[in-house]
Each structure stands twice: as structure tokens, then as C-alpha cells.
Amino acid sequence: MNIETFVRLTRIESSAEEVYAWHTRPGALERLTPPWIRLTIPGRTGGIEDGARASLVIRKGPFRFNWEVEHVDCVRPRGFTDVQVHGPFAEWRHTHAFEQDNAACYLEDRVEYRIPLGSLGKLLANARVRTELDRLFVYRHRILSHDIAVHRAYPGTRTQRILLTGASGFIGRTLKHFLTAGGHTVIGLTRGPASGDNISWDPENGQLDPARLEGFDSVIHLAGERINALRWTASKKQRIYSSRVFGTRLLAETLAKLDHPPETFLSASAIGYYGDRGAETLDEDSPPGTGFLPDVCRKWEAATQPAEERGIRTVHLRTGIVLSPGGGALAAMLPAFFSGAGGPIGSGYQFMSWISMDDAIEAIYHALLVPSLRGPVNLVAPTASINKDFARMLGLILGRPSVFPLPSGLARVLMGEMAEETLLASTRVEPHRLQHTGFIFHFPDLESALRHLLGRT
């Protein structure tokens, strides 16, 4: 039959019941999917129960796989099994087993599979399949351990009803899955027609129904026009400005007028607040810089004032370069580095203040639950990297050269002001307020972050 078996076992510092419950919640499957794999779920019936099914579309590089699995042998809290109904394997059976061990439990993922084309398929593909399974389950077990540990780190925390803008964006979609898998209810505030439980608003025209915003414990505001573009035209800069300042002001004013406003308002900002500052070490008390992005960030943060005056605890999330192969700066770099044409930008000595996606969403959760945090909070890793070291490390992990620079002059010709204020700017930021309130980074150094995100452990 050519059945192959893959097993990974990990001790989780939590009960089997809690680990099983985590798997049953919305967002759990998305959290367990590595960022180098693109997953969509076009259909799902039921939860974790016998006979429930899920239709998956998985994209990895140029490949697309349509997969349908059915849950069987669901015994809470001991485990459950996913069986392939149809998909890329001749046979696939994945058993999730949870065994209680005092206050902790052992998680065993056992995959029994058969590759198509018999012995020939096994000869051609089995080594690659086992390598990919190992990458996948190293990532899955690490994420599960981290997520449960983070949710357990705030004892006594009640589940919250959270309003989230930018829920379909680069950071927002990952944050939503993290929160819902942790037991919270997340409602999106979206532009255009509302769907499902989502609430519609039109920030450009100042339209937001206050009645729909009653009853939320917290609001997390991440929406805003993306700043990455080949060039900043006058209309692009206006969209960047208005989407942040006008949208934030409308939301803050509406929250301030509610009969029962939320306890907490987390509003996105960026380390662009500090501008190009060379090697100067910056923290939350550092003054703003000069230029387009610092001006936008100052007014962006000031737009939350109505909420602050109403007594809502308000936090400005000054976010650095968030790393994930699923989007943002790292995703933009990867094609060049994979092809062997990557390298530093400009002199390579400008500081990049980065943070892994997982630490970023956990830092947002920390800001949500720590009542002493208010005002600006820097979302960056403890150690900024100069651009040439970043390029060298990325090339090393990918096994590619990283010696082809993008000259600063060419960057200015191609991208103008956008290159000057982002790619060539040097901003060395430290996360003082996160560290002083006990936040623990899972990926504090660049090598561990990139290896985790790219599955190159």
C-alpha cells in the first residue's frame, strides 16, 4: 500500500481540554498555517465534530491544491482525525491526539499518507513531502505553544467583544485569527457593504452609525491606505493622509459620543513618527522627526483626542517593519533574494526597526490587556538591524548570495520621496514601554525571526 507515517510530539504547558478547545475555535486553522503557504477556506460545515467538513485551497509558490477533509473519531478532549475526501494525496489521515500529563499535555500529530503513482511517486516525491511536513509541524507546534502561553499569561482576562478595522489587511487578518482562536469575539468595521456580523462605515464621507458601536469592550483601529507604492503621487499622499487622520478622527469622535464607550482604544501609528534619525537611539519619549511621514503620524495620533478626552484608555501603536512572507516588506524582498539578486539598499548602514508578525500581534494583545499602557507604544524588536546585516542574514538563511545592492541614486530616481522616507531612512527604535511592562519577545533577534517565518529552522 506504500503508506508512510509522519509523527511529531510536543509537550504543551496547558490542559488537554484547553488545547482541544483552542482547535475548535474560528481562526485556529489559519493560525496553524505557515505564512509561506497561502490558505483560503471557501467552504466549511460544522466545527470539530464527526462528519464536519472543510474545503481548502492551498497555494504554495506556483502550485495550487484543492483539498476537502472530513473530521472523524472526535473524542473531546482526547483528539480528532482529519481524513482526506479528495485532494493531492492518494490517501491522507491526520490524527491530532492530546494526552493529559499532570498540569500539561502532550500533543501528537500523526500523519499517515500515500503518495500518488505508487512506488514511482514515492521515489520522486517522498523525501520532499517529509521535509515539508517537518517544516509545517515544527511551525504549527511552535505557534500553538506560543499562542496558548500568551493567552494564559494574563490570568483573569475575560473574553472580549472587539471591534477591528483593517481586519482584512496585512496585520489585521492575522490578529483576528489570533484573537478568535483565543476565545474573543471580533467584529470587523469595513468599508462598503457589510457582510455577516461586520459593520459598515464610510470614513471618506464621514458616515458611521453610533448605535452599531455600542457594546464593545475594546476597539482596535488598523485601517489606512498602504504607503508602499512605486512613487508617491500627490493623490497617493492625500489618500495616505486622509485615510489615517480623517478616519481616525471620525472613529474617535463616534466612540466619545457613545452611552457606553469601550474601555480601550488601540489606534495604529508608525515609527515613521520619528523620521530619518541616523544612528540616534529612539524611544517613546523622543520628539518627532520632519517630513511627510512624521507629519502624518503626528496628526494621526492627535486625531484620537476625542476618545482620550472621553476617558477611553488610548494607545498609539507605533509599528515598525512587520516581517512576514505573507505580505509587507519581507514579501517584497523575497523574489529578488530567491533569485540571487538581493542585497542592501543604498549605503546599507541605515537602521531598520523590525518586528516579527507573531510578536507584533502578541504586543498588540499585551497593549489591549495591560491597563497601565497608554499613549505611544513602540512595536519593534529589541534589536534594530542595519540594512546590510538584514540583507546578509536573509541571504544566509535562504542559501542565496546577497551582494547586489540597489544604489540610493537609482532608488531615488525610481521611487522619489517614497524611497527617501522609507527605504533610505534610518530609524533606530527601542520598545521601552513594552519591555518595562513585562512583554516577552518570542523572536527578539533577526535570525530566529526569519528562520521561524520562512520555515528554515
The C-alpha cell of 81 is what? 482525525
CA distances from 441 to 108, 155, 445 (A): 26, 19, 9
- Helix H or strand E encompassing 69: strand 63-75
Kindly tell me the sign of the dihedral angle through the C-alpha atoms of 452, 352, 364, 218.
negative
User: What pLDDT, on the 0 to 100 scale, is given for residue 1?
Assistant: 62
Write down the domain spans for the chain: 4-152, 161-454
Q: Are 232 and 417 in contact (CB under 8 A)?
A: yes
Q: Are 432 and 283 in contact (CB under 8 A)?
A: yes
CA neighbor of 457 nearest in space, from 87, 184, 139: 139
SS3 269: strand
CA neighbor of 73 nearest in space, from 87, 90, 92, 94: 94
CA neighbor of 246 nearest in space, from 201, 284, 187, 310: 201
Long-range pairs, 324-327, Cβ under 8 A, ≥24: 324/35, 324/170, 324/174, 324/356, 324/357, 324/453, 325/35, 325/36, 325/453, 325/454, 326/35, 326/36, 326/38, 326/170, 326/174, 326/357, 327/170
What is the full per-residue pLDDT of the chain (457 aa) written as tens digits? Answer: 679 999 999 999 999 999 999 999 999 999 999 999 999 999 999 889 999 999 999 987 788 899 999 999 999 999 999 999 999 999 999 999 999 999 999 999 999 999 998 888 788 888 999 999 999 999 999 999 999 999 999 988 899 999 999 999 999 999 999 999 999 999 999 987 777 789 999 998 899 999 999 999 999 999 999 887 778 899 999 999 999 999 999 999 999 999 999 999 999 999 999 999 999 999 999 999 999 999 999 999 999 999 999 999 999 999 999 999 999 999 999 999 999 999 999 999 999 999 999 999 999 999 999 999 999 999 999 999 999 999 999 999 999 999 999 989 988 888 888 888 899 999 999 999 999 999 999 999 999 999 999 999 8
CATH numeric code, 161-454: 3.40.50.720
Which residues lie below 8 Å from residue 407, measured CB to CB, with a gap of 6+? 346
How big is the chain by its Cα radius of gyration, in Å? 23
* Count of H-run helices and E-run strands, the chain: 14, 20
User: What pLDDT, on the 0 to 100 scale, is given for residue 126?
Assistant: 87
Estimate to the nearest angstrom the gap between the alpha carbon of 207 and the chain centroid.
Answer: 29
Kindly tell me the sign of the dihedral angle through the C-alpha atoms of 189, 190, 191, 194.
negative
Neighbours of 289 (CB within 10 A): 22
Q: Which CATH architecture has domain 4-152?
A: 2-Layer Sandwich (3.30)
Q: Are 111 and 92 in contact (CB under 8 A)?
A: yes
Angle at the Cα of 298 from the Cα atoms of 352 and 307, rounded to 5 degrees: 120
CA distances from 48 to 7, 43, 82, 330 (A): 21, 14, 10, 34
Neighbours of 378 (CB within 10 A): 27
User: What pLDDT, on the 0 to 100 scale, is given for residue 62?
Assistant: 82
